[in-house]
Amino acid sequence: MGEIPEEWQIDKLGNLVNILVGYPFPSNEFSGSGIRLVRGDNVTEGKLRWGDRTRYWNRLSPQLKKFLLQKNDFLIGMDGSKVGKNYAQVRHEDLPCLLVQRVACLRVNDNLIQNYLNYIIGNKNFINYVESTKTNAAIPQISSRQISDYKIIVPPVKEQQKIALILSNVESYIQKQYENKSKFQSLKKGLMQQLLTGKIRVKI
């Protein structure tokens, strides 16, 4: 992993998080309403997506309560063509929802902060690790053991907080610039339509 500060550590991810793999809900019992189910289809690059991919479960038995997700839970899709790239952090607006098999939920312990984990898994090093360890079956997949064995660099918690804050601010800035770009693109299209049809005349 190269040189790192002396006070930083290297450890397996499994020693820093609790990993929960989802429940095998039978698809023939999915409901049209109830609690949303987080399946592999819902976990995309950086966020959960719902819409026509949403499936529901209409009853919550005692054995299923452990699969109820919490805000800021970190999810990793465990199979599919984009395995290693599909991850998401649960938002308040995603709740309530239940974890389905082939999706892993990671909850940190006291030595790792949840927001820092987002950048650990979003790093190209994790993608490279998955590429080197995933199965070569028709549907590529990784196991909870492989996720657990992934080695990460662990700064002190206070440094993790500052690193996560800096990266979050940069993400917010990028998003704002992207939104501004979209607005200007829309403005340009509108001007093109009006200028090229003569609705707006230019002085000669």
Closest CA to 64 of 116, 34, 24: 24
CATH number of 9-155: 3.90.220.20
Domain boundaries, the chain: 9-155, 156-204
Q: How far does CA 191 lie from the centroid of its chain?
A: 38
Contact between 82 and 43 (Cβ < 8 Å): no
Return the structure tokens found at 182.
């979209």
pLDDT tens digits for 101-113? Answer: 999 999 999 999 9
d(CA 179, CA 26): 40
Residue ranges in the chain modelled with pLDDT below 50: none
Q: What integer pLDDT is reported at residue 17 of this predicted model?
A: 97
Contact between 97 and 36 (Cβ < 8 Å): yes
Cα angle vertex 19, ends 15, 23, to 5°?
165
Cα angle vertex 45, ends 41, 51, to 5°?
45
d(CA 91, CA 96): 10
Return the structure tokens found at 130.
């998955």
Q: What integer pLDDT is reported at residue 1 of this predicted model?
A: 64
Contact between 49 and 82 (Cβ < 8 Å): no
Contact between 126 and 150 (Cβ < 8 Å): yes
